[in-house]
A and B are shown apart, each in its own frame.
Chain A
Amino acid sequence: MEVARYWRTTKQRYQLVGEKCPQCGRRIFPPRDVCPVCGHEARTAVQFSGKGEVYSYSVVHVAPEGYEKFVPYIVALVRLAEGPLVTAQLTDVDESEVWIGMPVEMVTRVLREDGERGMLIYGYKFRPALPVNNQAPQAAAQPMRTPLPKANGVHPEPVLQAAMP
């Protein structure tokens, strides 16, 4: 059983506490103490809003130890509103409802159990965000889904051909 390992990262896992670079103002999550942009020491704690959007996603069918009971579960890269990408699970959503660009918000959920008798490990996951009209999100998400991948502006011609050979 690992206790201290999880305990020392409680704040960042429960409430997305990251850092802010005092030099360039960059918001940093996960915390890393040194600004990845300007290299300045960055230890000022900042709580993130928990709002973001899906950058990419996939589904885990064969899980690592401790995660087996959750399969299949959705994993994602989420672009936080403050800038950083974060790797996390999506919850309260089915795979068919997820799309790149989908607005999501952070919730605190059970990540895993440290064995049958060990600690319950809680941490951030993301779920579809509450739309402004305060309606349950699944209903609103459906018509907004992006139907097709977009072509990239950098290589428009060859890429479009690539998509339709």
Chain B
Amino acid sequence: MQLMKPVRPVGIIGYGAYVPRYRLAGQAISELWTAGNTPPPVREKAVPGLDEDVVTMSIEAARNALARAQAADPTFDPAQLGAVWVGSESHPYAVKPTSTIVAEAIGATPYTQAADWQFACKAGTEAIQAAIGFVGSGMARYALAIGMDAAQGRPGDALEYTAGAGGAAFILGPSEHALVEIEGSVSFVTDTPDFWRRQHEQFPEHAGRFTGEPAYFHHITQSVRALFAQMGLSATDFAYAVFHQPNVKFPLKVGEELGFKRAQITPGLLVNEIGNAYAGSALIGLTAILDIAQPGERILLASFGSGAGSDAFCLRVRRSLPTPHVWTTRTYVDRRVPVDYARYARLKENYIL
């Protein structure tokens, strides 16, 4: 086991979030399918508009990241992005990259690497790992990594309560201009089939309670403990921790197992308000923390992707930067238009015409 650390220091130059504005209350789902007898695992979840998908949400998060990068480094130009990588499990096309559309929309084309990443809910942190290597090795000066999802859950299934939408974009670059330095990371993966979606299927399947202990908890605790061991750190060295958020309970529980206090976790815990944004879940939590974090503070980021694996990162804030012209994560979260189940079904196109 080895700590992943690039040859030259790499940091986050800019970051940006996106959450669509519609919200469906968990209670509405409970009432429709279980006569209100199921306590919803989250209060409400974000739902994309009819004109939104992973492409459009990624473009907006990327534009927010560009705006912050330009504030951090006035010489930054999107044409310098050596990679545009989008991690998601709801790419609008089965074949045709999301990333080329995003790259075109933000002015990163044509001399750039573009690819879509897929690893269930950790596709976004996969892209960040790769971007760290890309920048850290000197192959690119800057790389854009996005985790974004318009999550799917079968109507009536447990996943329907939490399958939310949103995500975040990060521009990785040399740490001298960075807002945040990435001190090291660990990836931990095994073949653990807790959740999957077969080709041509609309909704994912899951293995019920098997998704908990052997999947979520095992992989996150292993990756984080390895990171702690390699870096000689423990939970008390971190101001904040953000985990993949399939519901409210899991991230709090896994944090507790790892020695974190609730106060370290709640600033990045958005699942109760926007649901589980799958590949965007942990990453948008991180942006909420970055909006408030102070220089010198450490942040633990640990994703979980079914299938299964966890990426754990140790981040340290270098400087905070006022960017009032860029939407904060809280602004997106608070921008909410509640919808009933009928409107939700229309927005999700879960009806037959």
A–B in direct contact per CB < 8 Å: yes
A→B interface (CB under 8 Å): 10-11, 14-15, 47, 69-70, 89, 91-92, 107-111, 120, 122, 125, 130, 132-138
A45 vs chain B, min Cβ distance (A): 11
Instruction: Please determine whether A108 and B93 come into contact, CB atoms closer than 8 angstroms.
Output: no
| One of B56, B106, B334 near A15 (C-beta < 8 A) | B106
B328 CB contacts on chain A under 8 angstroms: 134
Contact check, B49 vs A107: say whether CB atoms are below 8 A apart: no
| B55 adjacent to A92 (CB under 8 Å) | no
Contacts of B324 in A (CB 8 A): 132-134
The reply to whether A120 and B51 contact each other, CB–CB distance below 8 Å, is no
Is A135 in contact with B51, judged by CB distance below 8 angstroms? no
Q: Please report B residues at the A interface, Cβ cutoff 8 Å.
A: 21, 49-53, 55-56, 59-60, 92-93, 101, 104-107, 324-325, 327-328, 331-332, 334-337, 349
**Contact between A130 and B331, CB atoms less than 8 A apart:** yes
Chain A interface helix/strand/loop/mixed: mixed
Assuming the contacts A10-B104, A134-B331, asked whether A108 and B92 have C-beta atoms less than 8 A apart, the reply is: no
CB nearest to A14 among chain B residues = B105
Partner of A92, one of B21, B92, B106: B21
CA distance A111 to B106 in the complex (A): 18
Selected from B59, B106, B335, the residue in CB contact (under 8 A) with A138 is: B335
B55 touches A122 (CB 8 A): yes
- 8 Å CB contact of A108 from B21, B56, B325, B327: B56
State whether A109 touches B51 (Cβ < 8 A): yes
Distance from A123 Cβ to chain B, minimum over Cβ atoms (Å): 10
Report the minimum CB–CB distance from B169 to chain A (whole Å).
14
**A136 and B105 form a contact (CB under 8 A):** no
CB-based contact B334/A136 at 8 Å: yes
- Asked whether, in the complex, the Cβ of A108 is within 8 Å of the Cβ of B331, the reply is no
| Closest CB pairs A-B (n = 3) | A136-B335, A109-B51, A14-B105
Contacts of B53 in A (CB 8 A): 110, 120
Residues of B within 8 A of A120 (CB): 53, 55, 92-93
Please, could you name 24 A-B residue pairs with CB atoms under 8 Å apart, sorted by A? A10-B104, A14-B105, A15-B107, A47-B107, A69-B50, A91-B51, A108-B59, A110-B51, A110-B55, A110-B56, A120-B53, A122-B56, A122-B105, A125-B51, A130-B327, A130-B331, A133-B324, A134-B328, A135-B331, A135-B334, A136-B331, A136-B336, A137-B335, A138-B335
